Structure 1
Amino acid sequence: MAKLAHPREMKRILLPMLALAAGLLSTSCGGHVPAALPKAEAASCRAGGGYESRAAFGYPICQHDYADAGKVCSGKSDCQGGCLFDSVQGPATPVGTAVIGHCQPTAYYPGCYARVEGGKTSGPEICFD
C-alpha cells in the first residue's frame, strides 16, 4: 500500500499548483494581469535596491532580498525581515513552543510558517500566497 504524504508536505506542494491554476483561470476568463510594473514604480524599485518579480497569480511586484536570509534567529529583532519557523520541518507546533527560527530570505515570501519571538512560536502557522 502506498504511503501518503504528511498533510503539511501536501500543502507545500498543492499551494503553488493551486495559485498557478487560479492565475491561469483568471487570465483565461477575461482577467488582466499586468505584464510589468509601471515604469515609474519599476525605476523607484531599482533605485531602492529591489528588482521586479512576480507574486501570486502572476502580478508584478517589487521584490527585495535580505542579506541575512536563512540566519538562525530568536525573534524579529535578529532579522531584516521576519524570524520564521517553517512548520514543514515537523508536526504542527503549538504556540509558545521553543523553536529555532530562520530569517526570511525575501520581502515577499509565500509559504506556510509560524513567526518566532523570544525563541518561541508567537502564533499559529499561517500560509501566505
Structure 2
Amino acid sequence: MTNQKSNKAMNIVLWIAQVLLAIMFGMAGIMKATQPLETLTESLPWTSTVPLGLIRLIGVSEILGGLGLIIPSILRFKPFLAVWAALCLALVMVFAGGFHLVRGEFSAIGMNVFFMGIALWVAWGRSKKAPILAKS
C-alpha cells in the first residue's frame, strides 16, 4: 500500500512540475516569438545582439517544448513524447547557460541550471518512476 501511495504522490508532483514548466516555457516562448525586438530588448538585453530569426526560433522551440510536456500526457497518446520534450527543454537550458557563460552573464546561469534540473527530473520521473501509459 505504501508503494502505491508514493507512486500516486510522485505522479501528482510530476504533473505539477510539468504544468509549471509548460507555463514558464510557454510564456517565455510566446514573448520571444511574438514581441517586437525593441520590446524584447527592454526585458531581455541579450536580444539586442542576437539575430531576430534565432530569437524567434528559440521562442517557437520553447512553446513546442511546453506543449510537448503536457499534451501527450493528457491525451495519453504517445506519452513518451513528454519525456523527450523535457529532455529537449533541458538541452535548451544547457545552450542558454553556455550562451550566458560566454557573455559573462553569470547571474542568468542559475535559472538555466534550475529549470534544466526540473526538466531532467520530469524526464526521469516520467520514464522510470511514474510513467504515463498510452491508451490502448
Q: Quick check: TM above 0.5?
A: no
If the TM-score is normalised by the length of the shorter chain, which range does it land in?
under 0.3
Higher strand share: 1
Higher helix share: 2
TM-score of the superposed pair, with normalisation by structure 1: 0.23
